[in-house]
């Protein structure tokens, strides 16, 4: 009898220690579980099939009672603790007359929505809230306190590198991702900052190398850059540096403009220093300005077969040049633009999954590379969480994500970054009507 009592006591106290470690269980539910374990301990020594049968029925009904005592919504409460909260801190209002600002915002959020669907299939619930800010460089500062107050698990941050760099001191312990930030200096940020886009110097190096094959007899380049766009100036500096390294006897001239309003740009000043046969590296703030400036410069110079080069992103609008050029010149010219393949990387498995989910949700295939870029950013966090679990007790999901993402980068330093760049060609005299993918280049 004493041995039975001792067995019951030990079993009950051991079960109490285990059950009490379960998160947030209601007291009535805990008590019912203890009764079930107590019954099991009391009847452990009973013999005979009839007693075993009765014991099983009794334990089953006590467990059934314990679950009936569980408050409604308790399981939802447990699941809610695993929700991944994403704050979108970016500027959807790109520079003047970029087709439609609302279209850019829709394309941005369409990628995030598709990632929500993909994450759900992975067993991760993603919730997001947009903290969009204005077009001025420091407008982001007004939204930072709101993001901090919302306390997200990670941040889908600015596409501009200088604004992305600005967040360093505000979010030291939160994962901050960018879909397009590409300045090499972001690689010196703390490990909780990451961009899925290839570095500027990698893209420009590949562009200059292609340029040498496309225009092998030209060792002179003329740079035209929008002065108030820091990212544009930085990229133009990379171009000048790399071009000079690859052309020992080459020369680079430069002109800048400040006002981004197309009507106020003095084309004559832009081409000061240009000589016939020079390559033109044109880096304004938006693709809209790029295609219109090409047309105006070609019309002013009256030089056939001008070659323009840029690293701007067209946001997936292959027919944009035809739609946006107000006055088409009779002079023929060519444009060569380098960018990550994104929607054109047909062999990429991630793209196939994205296309399927997007078309199921929206009834059509995606047309904007921006949607795929934001999708990749969100999924880089979700996949890190699933493939590289933190395996550390008592971590909230934000801290667990930091550990998981660090593990992912240790496994692959270019986690979710596109591996291939594309050279896109546009001719104003081509019958194809828009940009076409001319060549692919491996990044790594």
* 32-52 confidence digits (pLDDT tens): 455 455 555 555 555 555 455
In this structure, are 226 and 336 located in the same domain?
yes
pLDDT score of 135? 77
Residue 315 has pLDDT above 80, yes or no: no
Is the same domain home to 299 and 327? Answer: yes
Total domains present in the chain? 3
> What pLDDT, on the 0 to 100 scale, is given for residue 249?
85
Are 303 and 437 found together in one domain?
yes
Domain membership of residue 170 as a residue range: 83-197+345-418
Of 54, 77, 100, at which residue does a domain stop? 77
Residue 414 binned pLDDT confidence (cut-offs 50, 70, 90): very high
Averaged pLDDT score across all residues of the chain: 81
Choose from 255-264, 310-319, 390-399 the range with maximum mean pLDDT. Answer: 390-399
Backbone φ and ψ for 265, nearest 5 degrees, come out as -85, 125
Q: Are residues 150 and 56 in the same domain?
A: no
pLDDT at 15: 41
CB 83 within 8 A of CB 125: yes
In this structure, the answer to whether residues 174 and 303 fall within a common structural domain is no
pLDDT at position 397 over 90: yes
What is the SS3 string spanning the chain?
A: CHHHHHHHHHHHHHHHHHHHCCCCCCHHHHHHHHHHHHHHHHCCCCCCHHHHHHHHHHHHHHHHHHHHCCCCCHHHHHHHCCCEEEEECCCCCCCCCCCCHHHHHHHHHHHHHHHHHHHHHCCCCEEEEECCCCCCCCCHHHHHHHHHHHCCCEEECCCCHHHHHHHHHCCCCCEEEECCCCCHHHHHCCCCEEECCCCHHHHHHHHHHHHHHHCCCCCEEEEEEECCCHHHHHHHHHHHHHHHHHCCCCEEEEEEECCCCHHHCCHHHHCCCCCCCCEEEEECCCHHHHHHHHHHHHHHHCCCCEEEEECCCCCCCCCHHHHHCCCCCCCCEEEEEEEECHHHCCCCHHHHHHHHHHHHHHCCCCCCHHHHHHHHHHHHHHHHHHHCCCCCCCCCHHHHHHHHHHHHHHHCCCCCCCCEEEEEEEECCCCCCCCEEEEEEECC
* Predicted pLDDT at 316: 53
Residues 324, 231 share a domain: yes
Q: Are residues 276 and 212 in the same domain?
A: yes
Whole-number pLDDT of residue 291: 85
φ, ψ at 256 (rounded to 5°): -130, 155
Residues written for the chain: 444
Last residue of a domain, one of 24, 47, 77: 77
Q: Which of residues 109 and 16 earns the better pLDDT score?
A: 109
Q: Is 324 found in the same domain as 234?
A: yes
**275/321 same-domain check:** yes
Rounded to an integer, what distance in angstroms lies between the CA atom of residue 84 and that of residue 126?
A: 5
pLDDT (0 to 100) of residue 102:
59
Distance CA 367, CA 102 (A): 15
Q: Are residues 289 and 428 in the same domain?
A: yes
The yes-or-no verdict on residue 350 having pLDDT over 90 is yes
For residue range 154-207, what is the model confidence (pLDDT) as tens digits?
A: 999 998 899 999 999 999 999 999 999 999 999 999 999 999 999 999 999 999
pLDDT band at 329 (very low <50, low <70, confident <90, very high): low
| 59-73, 125-139, 402-416, 418-432: range with lowest mean pLDDT | 59-73
How far apart CA 224 and CA 254 sit, in angstroms, is: 6
Least confident of 35-44, 136-145, 186-195, 289-298: 35-44
pLDDT of 61 higher than 60: no
Q: What is the CATH number of the domain that holds 95?
A: 3.40.50.2300
| The pLDDT of residue 69 is above 60 | no
pTM over 0.85: no
- Residue-level pLDDT at 49: 52
Pair 428, 413 in one domain: no
Distances in Å between the Cα of 323 and the Cα atoms of 294, 343, 424, 434 are 14, 21, 17, 9
Q: How many Å apart are CA 192 and CA 406, to the nearest integer?
A: 8
């Amino acid at each position: 009898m004493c041995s039975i009592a001792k067995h019951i006591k030990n079993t009950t106290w051991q079960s109490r220690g285990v059950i009490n470690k379960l998160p947030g269980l209601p007291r009535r539910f805990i008590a019912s579980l203890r009764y079930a374990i107590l019954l099991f301990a009391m009847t452990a020594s009973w013999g005979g099939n009839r007693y075993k049968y009765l014991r099983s029925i009794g334990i089953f009904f006590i467990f059934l009672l314990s679950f009936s005592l569980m408050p409604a919504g308790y399981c939802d409460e447990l699941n809610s603790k695993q929700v991944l909260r994403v704050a979108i801190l970016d500027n959807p209002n790109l520079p003047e007359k970029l087709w439609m600002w609302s279209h850019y915002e829709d394309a941005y959020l369409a990628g995030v929505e598709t990632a929500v669907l993909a994450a759900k299939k992975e067993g991760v619930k993603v919730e997001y809230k947009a903290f969009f800010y204005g077009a001025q460089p420091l407008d982001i500062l007004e939204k930072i306190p709101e993001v901090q107050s919302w306390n997200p698990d990670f941040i889908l941050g600015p596409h501009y590198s200088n604004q992305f760099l600005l967040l360093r001191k505000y979010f030291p312990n939160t994962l901050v991702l960018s879909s397009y930030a590409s300045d090499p200096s972001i690689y010196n940020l703390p490990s909780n900052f990451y961009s899925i886009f290839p570095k500027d110097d990698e893209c420009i190096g590949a562009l200059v190398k292609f340029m040498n094959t496309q225009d092998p007899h030209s060792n002179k380049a003329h740079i035209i850059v929008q002065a108030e766009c820091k990212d544009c100036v930085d990229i133009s500096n990379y171009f000048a540096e790399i071009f000079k390294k690859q052309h020992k006897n080459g020369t680079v001239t430069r002109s800048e403009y400040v006002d981004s309003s197309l009507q106020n740009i003095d084309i004559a000043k832009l081409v000061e220093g240009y000589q016939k046969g020079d390559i033109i590296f044109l880096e304004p703030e938006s693709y809209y300005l790029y295609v219109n400036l090409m047309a105006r410069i070609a019309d002013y110079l009256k030089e056939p077969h001008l070659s323009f080069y840029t690293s701007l992103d067209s946001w997936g609008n292959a027919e944009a040049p035809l739609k946006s050029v107000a006055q088409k010149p009779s002079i023929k010219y060519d444009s060569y633009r380098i960018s990550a393949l994104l929607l054109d990387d047909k062999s990429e498995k991630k793209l196939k999954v994205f296309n399927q989910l997007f078309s199921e949700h929206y009834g059509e295939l995606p047309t904007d590379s921006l949607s795929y870029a934001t999708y990749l950013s969100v999924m880089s966090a979700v996949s890190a969480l699933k493939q590289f679990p933190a395996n550390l007790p008592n971590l909230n999901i934000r801290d667990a994500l930091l550990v998981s993402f660090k593990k992912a980068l240790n496994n692959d330093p270019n986690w979710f970054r596109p591996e291939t760049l594309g050279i896109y060609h546009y001719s104003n005299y081509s019958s194809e009507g828009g940009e076409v993918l001319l060549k692919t280049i491996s990044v790594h």
